[in-house]
């Protein structure tokens, strides 16, 4: 379809920003910008680290495509700033973005709704000295995953195999966040599944199975190597794939997400029970990214995906016309 008379007005692609994931966000943003321009959208790059968000209104932007990752982008702060200006934006609103950014809050909502997620213990950075390592191991077992509660892209994450390695793992996570999430390690298949839409209309895209070298799906393997395999179709039994799709849609809905998101899931090798790990409400859109890969498997091109997401841009609070 031609967007020569683009219904979107003047679009800002928000990219870069101030989080630890700035570099990835710039890659995502450039991809989205190129796709929107190719589709005839009047789109422009906008980096909140270089320009105040209040400039958006002054420069006449009517919609924002959020391609920011991590803090000050995926966590409800930018969403709130855009709500105040009345500029519709892609992805989840203030509350859903804010909860989803915090892995512990996300797990609390999922557990309250009876959805499966690995057992966890929250450790405060300023109470690190008081942590009883043997108790932690008794509660969660080994191996154990230790990660910052609010950082993405596998930054500060350690898979702890021996109790001796726990202190270093806690210190590494504490360097990124005051809240440290210690989590039961589910051993088995790692999958991820995008969800598009809102409320009753939310639907899953095809499940991607991730096969990483020695099971180490870290920052390096995520963005800069080609050793990690992404299998779509996933090769899982159809019933299992359908059950995962139903689970992630429910996980997305109970958090009140909209627009799009991507949920990471571990399947226990023994029981085949899927466990929800976390949700990304502003997923990557780089050449290595998983949402475009899954969309492509469903017959949706990168350009069409970008335009669909932009078309769904909205506000939590529809501006009442005063006067």
Number of domains in the chain: 3
Whether residue 319 has pLDDT greater than 70: no
3-state secondary structure of 155: coil
Q: Kindly list the strands in the beta sheet with 63-66, ordered across the sheet, starting from the edge strand earlier in the chain.
A: 42-46, 10-14, 63-66
End-of-domain residue from the set 184, 202, 218: 184
Q: Which residues pair with 194 in a beta bridge?
A: 262
pLDDT above 70 covers what percent of the chain?
91
Average pLDDT over residues 247-273: 98
pLDDT at position 287: 78
* Residue 40: closest CA among 312, 235, 308, 307: 307
Q: What is the pLDDT of residues 135-194, one digit of tens each?
A: 999 999 999 999 988 865 567 899 999 999 999 999 999 998 899 999 999 999 999 999
Within 13 Å of residue 106, how many CA atoms lie on the same side as its CB? 29
Instruction: Identify the sign of the CA torsion 122, 125, 128, 133.
Output: positive
Average pLDDT over residues 222-251: 89
**Domain presence at residue 78:** yes
Cis ω for the linkage preceding 233 (within 30 of 0): yes
Rounded to 5°, the CA angle 142-144-148 comes to 165
* Gap between the Cα atoms of 283 and 26, Å rounded: 13
Whether residue 323 has pLDDT greater than 90: no
**Domain presence at residue 317:** no
Report CA dihedral (292, 280, 277, 189) to the nearest 10 degrees.
Answer: 10
* Gap between the Cα atoms of 310 and 81, Å rounded: 18
pLDDT at position 85: 95
Whether residue 3 has pLDDT greater than 70: no
76 shares its domain with 135: no
132 shares its domain with 162: yes
Cis ω for the linkage preceding 143 (within 30 of 0): yes
CATH code: domain of residue 304: 3.30.470.20
Contacts of 181 (CB under 8 A, 6+ apart): 103, 104, 120, 122, 123, 145, 146, 147, 148, 149, 173
* Gap between the Cα atoms of 200 and 43, Å rounded: 30
227 shares its domain with 137: no
CATH code: domain of residue 79: 3.40.50.20
Q: What is the pLDDT of residues 69-117, one digit of tens each?
A: 988 899 999 999 999 999 999 999 999 999 999 999 999 999 999 999 9
Average pLDDT over residues 40-54: 97
End-of-domain residue from the set 147, 164, 184: 184
**Domain presence at residue 2:** no
103 shares its domain with 213: yes
pLDDT at position 7: 80
What positions carry a catalytic annotation?
21, 153, 223, 262, 264, 278, 280, 284
Domain that holds residue 44: 10-90
Whether residue 68 has pLDDT greater than 70: yes
* Mean pLDDT computed over every residue of the chain: 91
243 shares its domain with 111: yes
CATH code: domain of residue 148: 3.30.1490.20
**Domain presence at residue 4:** no
Q: Are strands 10-14 and 42-46 parallel, antiparallel or unpaired?
A: parallel
Whether residue 62 has pLDDT greater than 60: yes
CB 113 within 8 A of CB 254: yes
25 shares its domain with 139: no
Contacts of 24 (CB under 8 A, 6+ apart): 69, 153, 223, 284, 286
CB 9 within 8 A of CB 63: yes
209 shares its domain with 128: no
Q: Are strands 120-124 and 63-66 parallel, antiparallel or unpaired?
A: unpaired
Whether residue 66 has pLDDT greater than 70: yes
Using the CB atoms, write b or e for 139-154: b if 16+ within 10 Å: ebeeebbbbbbbbbbb
pLDDT at position 228: 84
215 shares its domain with 295: yes
pLDDT at position 320: 57
**Domain presence at residue 321:** no
154 shares its domain with 135: yes
Q: Where are the alpha helices (DSSP H) in 177-259?
A: 219-223, 238-254
* Residue 293: closest CA among 212, 221, 205: 205
212 shares its domain with 261: yes
Contacts of 104 (CB under 8 A, 6+ apart): 120, 122, 149, 179, 181
pTM score: 0.91
End-of-domain residue from the set 157, 184, 211: 184
Q: What is the pLDDT of residues 181-229, one digit of tens each?
A: 999 999 999 999 999 999 999 999 999 999 987 655 455 555 555 678 9
15 shares its domain with 129: no
H or E stretch covering 106: helix 103-112
């Amino acid at each position: 379809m031609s967007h020569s008379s683009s219904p979107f007005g003047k679009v800002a692609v928000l990219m870069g920003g101030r989080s630890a994931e700035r570099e990835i966000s710039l890659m995502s943003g450039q991809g989205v910008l190129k796709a929107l321009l190719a589709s005839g959208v009047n789109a422009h790059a906008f980096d909140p680290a270089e320009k105040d968000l209040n400039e958006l209104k002054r420069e006449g932007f009517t919609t924002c495509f959020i391609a920011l990752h991590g803090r000050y982008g995926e966590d409800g702060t930018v969403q709130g700033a855009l709500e105040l200006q009345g500029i519709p934006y892609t992805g989840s609103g203030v509350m859903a973005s804010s909860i989803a950014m915090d892995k512990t809050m996300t797990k609390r909502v999922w557990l309250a709704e009876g959805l499966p997620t690995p057992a966890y213990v929250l450790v405060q950075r300023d109470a690190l000295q008081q942590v009883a390592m043997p108790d932690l191991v008794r509660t969660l077992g080994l191996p154990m995953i230790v990660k910052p509660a609010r950082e993405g892209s596998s930054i500060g994450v350690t898979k702890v195999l021996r109790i001796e390695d726990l202190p270093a793992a806690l210190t590494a996570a504490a360097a990124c966040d005051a809240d440290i999430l210690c989590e039961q390690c589910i051993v088995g298949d790692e999958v991820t599944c995008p969800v598009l839409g809102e409320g009753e209309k939310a639907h899953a895209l095809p499940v991607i199975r991730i096969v990483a070298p020695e099971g180490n799906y870290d920052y390096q393997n995520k963005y800069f190597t080609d050793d990690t395999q992404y299998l779509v179709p996933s090769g899982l039994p159809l019933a299992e794939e359908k059950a995962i799709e139903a689970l992630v849609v429910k996980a997305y809905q109970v958090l009140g997400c909209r627009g799009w998101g991507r949920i990471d899931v571990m399947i226990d090798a023994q029981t085949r029970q899927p466990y929800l790990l976390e949700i990304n409400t502003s997923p990557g859109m780089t050449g290595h990214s998983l949402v475009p890969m899954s969309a492509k498997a469903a017959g949706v091109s990168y350009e069409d995906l970008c335009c669909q997401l932009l078309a769904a841009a909205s506000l939590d609070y529809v501006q009442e016309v005063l006067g």
